[in-house]
Amino acid sequence: MKKENRLNSNIPKHVLLVMERLEEASFEAYVVGGCVRDLLLGKAPKDWDIATNARPDDVQKIFPDSVYENNFGTVGIKIRNQDADGKEIVEVVEVTTYRIESKYSDKRHPDEVKFAKTLKEDLSRRDFTINALALRVSEQESVSSDQQKIEKIAGTKFELIDLFSGQEDLENKLIRAVGDANERFNEDALRMMRAIRFSVTLDFSIEKKTFLAIQKNSENLKFISPERIRDEFSKIILSSTPAKGIELLQEAGILRIILPEIESGIGVMQSHHHYYGPYNTVYKHLVASLEKCPSKKLEVRLASLLHDVGKPKSKRGEGENATFYNHEYIGERMAKDILERLRFPRKVIDKVTLLVRNHMFYYNVDEVGESGVRRVVQKIGLENIGDLIDVRIADRLGSGVPKAVPYKLRHFQFMVEKVSHDPISVKQLKIDGNDLMEELIVDPGPKIGAILAVLLSKVIDNPTLNEKENLLILATELAKSNVGELRKMAEDKIKAEQKKEEELIKKKHRVS
């Protein structure tokens, strides 16, 4: 019982108060699910769930300040309180009526819910033994005011309800399905991903029968909505052992359903001199890159996992002569398709595809000068450079090289810093369209933009040109050309720079 008593100081008073009020109205009330698991693990629960035999309308009668929006039996109760400075704070506690699983025909969580009479029924529909624990406040005589209730709560005793040996599994660090694993995964296929998610976030193993049942039913993830898959996948990717998560998904047969593009890197040899022993297939390299990713951002982790996803499709030749020409562009396209399919937000997709497309950017101390670095910054955006460097570090470490940030990359960071205030956009030029119209008698129209674009390309090469007088002299000269010629000048410059970089990348990877 000692363990239970230790629990009480960790449950917020407002949660206990809600349970008290329910019990007073002769209903049952238990703290259930993930929060009990987290309490027993000594972690701070993210949210608090209370289960009760009261129906949603009963709950709303007891707590008029509440909302019942979905039809899943969950009422959100608002508790108004004061913080240390006397400011009002509103805390929400979720109270859910006991439920049982209704019939499934399509391996998805049911849209309709069936209420149940007993806690036992409610606990039996939960996914894993460690998530099927409940805590109850022991019987005590009732008191009337909220203040008295809070005082009473301070000395409260708790009773842990553990009908499926969840405590034992917590101690042995095991994820085990409640009841028959096969049936449970047939009811809701997402549970298979949740098993892997809990395994990596808690550092638990998946119990053998449970894992076998996942392997048997993995195909059913086809029926699960992309949004639900995305949320579990993101939690796996953001855990402290994301690579273990991918390997588990693979072993379970889930990866081939949700991310076949990664699965198809299995066995694809890169056998290039800079991929060491165990990292020499595309699959192993991508998993290792995710493992070594230094960033905690979802986008950067996704980009680390996906940066070479275009390699299997772009591979030409075998052995030492294999080439992966344009894999970064093929990969960008594939990353976009994957992330759209999983319904990631537009912002995430844009960022990941930018990082995948540019992960090959070339930098070498003697070959790329300040103007080259300014062009990289212009293309990628100053705000993305740090993340791109992180993908590059992941890529490097995921190839088995021992040192994360070699001199070259540190020097690149230094150069970015150095040029970070130099002009890289038309807005930063010391003249604008109005100046051109006044001084040069250029008519309003597309010619103005074309002149500014050529001026910018000159200023990127040499920022000291960015002086008003200078630019006007240059512009006067440029104004003699027509729009078509001006546009060609700017485009040719961009193409030449691109070609130069591509040549350098090719040379480095010996793929020409």
- Judged by CB under 6 A, the residue of 40, 54, 190, 354 near ligand ATP is 190
Q: Which is nearer to Mg ion, 34 or 398 (CB)?
A: 34
Buried b (16+ CB within 10 A) or exposed e, 364-401: eeeebeebbbbbbbbbbeeebbebbbbbbbbbbbbbbe
- Partner touching 228 among Mg ion, ligand ATP, none, CB below 5 to 8 Å by kind: none
Q: Which is nearer to ligand ATP, 194 or 458 (CB)?
A: 194
- Partner touching 190 among ligand ATP, Mg ion, none, CB below 5 to 8 Å by kind: ligand ATP
- φ and ψ at residue 10, rounded to 5 degrees: -95, -5
- Partner touching 334 among ligand ATP, Mg ion, none, CB below 5 to 8 Å by kind: none
- Judged by CB under 6 A, the residue of 17, 18, 33, 237 near ligand ATP is 33
Q: How many of the chain's residues bind Mg ion (CB under 5 A)?
A: 2
- Three-state SS for 365? coil
Piece of 9-17, 18-26, 126-134, 497-505 that binds ligand ATP (CB under 6 A): 126-134
Piece of 188-196, 319-327, 361-369, 454-462 that binds ligand ATP (CB under 6 A): 188-196
The Cα–Cα gap between 11 and 134 comes to 13
Residues in region 96-115 near ligand ATP by CB under 6 A? 109
Residues in region 473-492 near ligand ATP by CB under 6 A? none
C-beta of 47: minimal distance to Mg ion in Å? 5
Integer angstrom CA distances of residue 407 from 57, 363, 385, 390, 413: 66, 11, 17, 15, 10
Piece of 83-91, 187-195, 363-371, 403-411 that binds ligand ATP (CB under 6 A): 187-195
C-beta of 38: minimal distance to ligand ATP in Å? 7
Residues in region 23-62 near Mg ion by CB under 5 A? 34, 47
C-beta of 233: minimal distance to ligand ATP in Å? 13
- Judged by CB under 6 A, the residue of 20, 162, 169, 188 near ligand ATP is 188
| The one-letter amino acid at 57 | D
C-beta of 34: minimal distance to Mg ion in Å? 4
- Partner touching 180 among ligand ATP, Mg ion, none, CB below 5 to 8 Å by kind: none
Piece of 127-135, 212-220, 411-419, 461-469 that binds ligand ATP (CB under 6 A): 127-135
C-beta of 197: minimal distance to ligand ATP in Å? 8
Tell how strand 205-206 and strand 74-82 pair up.
unpaired
Q: How many of the chain's residues bind ligand ATP (CB under 6 A)?
A: 12
C-beta of 202: minimal distance to Mg ion in Å? 13
Q: Does 126 bind ligand ATP (CB under 6 A)?
A: yes
- Judged by CB under 6 A, the residue of 176, 191, 307, 327 near ligand ATP is 191
Angle between helices 468-478 and 433-440 (to 10 degrees): 70
**231: exposed, middle or buried (C-beta count within 10 Å: 0-12, 13-18, 19+)?**
middle
- Partner touching 249 among Mg ion, ligand ATP, none, CB below 5 to 8 Å by kind: none
The Cα–Cα gap between 468 and 39 comes to 66
The Cα–Cα gap between 306 and 355 comes to 10
Beta pairing partners, 80: 90
C-beta of 15: minimal distance to ligand ATP in Å? 14
The Cα–Cα gap between 424 and 185 comes to 54
Give residues with Cβ within 8 angstroms of 431, minimum separation 6: 452, 455, 468, 471, 472, 475
Dig out the tokens for 234 from the structure.
Answer: 């993101």
Q: Which is nearer to ligand ATP, 187 or 291 (CB)?
A: 187
The count of C-alpha atoms lying within 13 angstroms of the C-alpha of 70, restricted to the half-sphere facing its C-beta, is 12
The count of C-alpha atoms lying within 13 angstroms of the C-alpha of 55, restricted to the half-sphere facing its C-beta, is 5
- Judged by CB under 6 A, the residue of 52, 97, 131, 358 near ligand ATP is 131
Piece of 14-22, 124-132, 282-290, 467-475 that binds ligand ATP (CB under 6 A): 124-132
**455: exposed, middle or buried (C-beta count within 10 Å: 0-12, 13-18, 19+)?**
buried
- Partner touching 101 among Mg ion, ligand ATP, none, CB below 5 to 8 Å by kind: none
Residues in region 45-84 near ligand ATP by CB under 6 A? 46, 49
Instruction: Answer for the pair 113, 72: CB distance below 8 angstroms, yes or no.
Output: yes
**474: exposed, middle or buried (C-beta count within 10 Å: 0-12, 13-18, 19+)?**
middle
Q: Which is nearer to ligand ATP, 219 or 438 (CB)?
A: 219
C-beta of 20: minimal distance to Mg ion in Å? 22
Tell how strand 99-100 and strand 114-115 pair up.
antiparallel
Helix (H) or strand (E) holding 87: none
DSSP states along 127-176: SBGGGS-EEEEPP----SSHHHHHHHHHT--EEEE-TT-HHHHHHTTEE-
CA nearest 132: which of 183, 194, 178, 193? 178
C-beta of 100: minimal distance to ligand ATP in Å? 11
Q: Which is nearer to ligand ATP, 176 or 191 (CB)?
A: 191
C-beta of 116: minimal distance to ligand ATP in Å? 14
Binding site for ligand ATP (CB under 6 A): 33-34, 46, 49, 109, 126-127, 131-132, 188, 190-191
Contact residues: Mg ion, CB under 5 A: 34, 47
